[in-house]
Structure 1
Amino acid sequence: MSHRFRWLAVACAGALAVALLLIGSLLGTPPSPRDGSGGSAGTEGDEAAEVAVGAYLHYGSPGVERMQELSRWLGGAELRAGHTYLPGDTWANIEGAPDSLRTWARWRNERADRLFVLNVPMQERNEAGVPDDRVAELIRSGAQGANDHHFRLLARRLVDLGVPDTVIVLGWEMNGFNYTHRCRPDPENWKAYWRRIVAAMRTVEGQRFRFDYAPNRGSDAIAWTSCYPGDDVVDVVGMDSYDQEPGRTFDEQVTQPYGLQQQVDFAKAHGKRISYPEWGLFRHGDNPEYVRGMLAWFAEHGPLYHSITDYCPHGVWQCGQNPRSTQVFRESLSAG
């Protein structure tokens, strides 16, 4: 999902869904996350914890305020996953320059059981339409260590802000066609570059980061398994899964090649937790069956966290154009 569309969230903020819905019972939540101690995130020992529920509501400080408002709308349900993005326009922003990180860090540290989830681009000019041959050059340069200092600086900033256990969604949707941090132009060096970044960030004293490998659902430009950089540098196997092709129905999204079932199976084979940093409505309008299917999937498979993208056209709270989906979401996740 293009980051430039996320920046339009402000424009949609006034279109809050009307309060016409009944509050239902809390969706049963199976096992989930680790304690944030870092290292490879396996499945053993996690059975007693709840899935961390979150929403992407705004890239900056207003996103924190809206988390509180969304919680009230859900009858006081606790939203434990705070999710935002670093802009990929300049290296300064990828290094953690945005002031909003301070606000997110304060939110994270208000409760010990919260997760701060941060999408981190691997290249500047990340949405500039950079051609494949230039992307391949940038990947090779990164694999040789040209950008290590940028990521060490980001790691130091996060530790200094008091969020050393941040979940880093690094180079998200790398199997797609658009981002400058895409994998397809040079998969082998892309994997080496990911490894360099993780190694650089792990050198910072006090860090306990978890690195989340989160492709698009489906094969897209390249099979996401072809870009997997190794179990020693991946802690969580995520997936961004919107209501769009490939897979017209939710069942097809589960069973398609490189779909939801393959993600779960792959993660289990590699001893990793799963996550869903982005999900939501997209191509098919108001689709309550998709929302119901995703929530049931989370309940069955117990991801570390899931975070719905909530602004038009994806949303169920800040966007009033999906009332049936809104009802399913609210009834399922409201506090009883």
Structure 2
Amino acid sequence: METAEPVRRTLEIEEVTNLYFIHPIASRLTPLFAALRIPPNAVSVAGMVFGILAGVAYHHYQDPRNVIAAFVLMIAWHVMDGADGQLARLTNAQSATGKVLDGICDYVTFIAVYSGLALSLSGQYGGEAWILVIAAGLCHILQSAAYEVQRQEYNFWGLGRKSAEFVALTVPRRAIAAGPPMQRLADFVHRAYVRIQFLAAGVTVEFHQRLTVALTAHPDRDAAIREQYRRTFAPLVRQWSVMSANYRTLGIFVFALAGAPQYYFWLEIVGGSVISVALLRKRQARYRSFFEGLGMADEPPVALSMRTAE
């Protein structure tokens, strides 16, 4: 069965636990799901169910057996979360609806886990526990969005792969308005979600304009420019993987098993924010060094028309 995109995600920037554990398991399940004609969205929902059950187990984190059960359930969610994307690419079933549903399932999983822990912690700390958990959740959203955009941008510019995220911002609104009602709703939500991701990641229109101009003005250098992009940004994208859901799952497990999940939330608020700011600053420096490597350091950005994104 042919597919327009690789079934597995980009290996050179993949997070190590995905590379050697989660995605190999998902890869074994994906052909089975395809043979059984299970749609990718059903796999996403199944993963979400595992996540919700993990939240129920974490509500009783005082018993180590529940913590271990919750961790196993979250691993199952990670596997399903990897398999739904692989299945969509294998069967050419990618869609804006699937992207939105996948994001919703991810957030529902962490909302369930965070809520389960908050309910338990509120018995000891009262309403302050909910304030702590909600603040951590907001930081989680911003940090995760920034990480995902790094991956999307790398695939788009570094490898020249079609990106649903970038297409979502360039498809004219009149084209979306002409679609079926449910498709219009899914596209609208997807575009809004992508814009929030890009804002959190500090993606600048100037960088995208300048790189578009470079690729358009020098088609003979397309391969060289993309190679330069990969050399410049691949190490940074790998550093961003510390913000992946895998390490959050591991962190929750460790702190809950130690009987102090509240410290995980403080780590997410303080540690995650400090790391994110540092990585965003490094990213801006990499932008500059990238154009210096292309000999475009002093070229002003060209004001390309952005009307197609409106």
Calculate the TM-score normalised by the size of structure 1. Answer: 0.25
Calculate the TM-score normalised by the size of structure 2. Answer: 0.27
Q: Could you say which structure has the larger radius of gyration?
A: 2
Higher helix share: 2
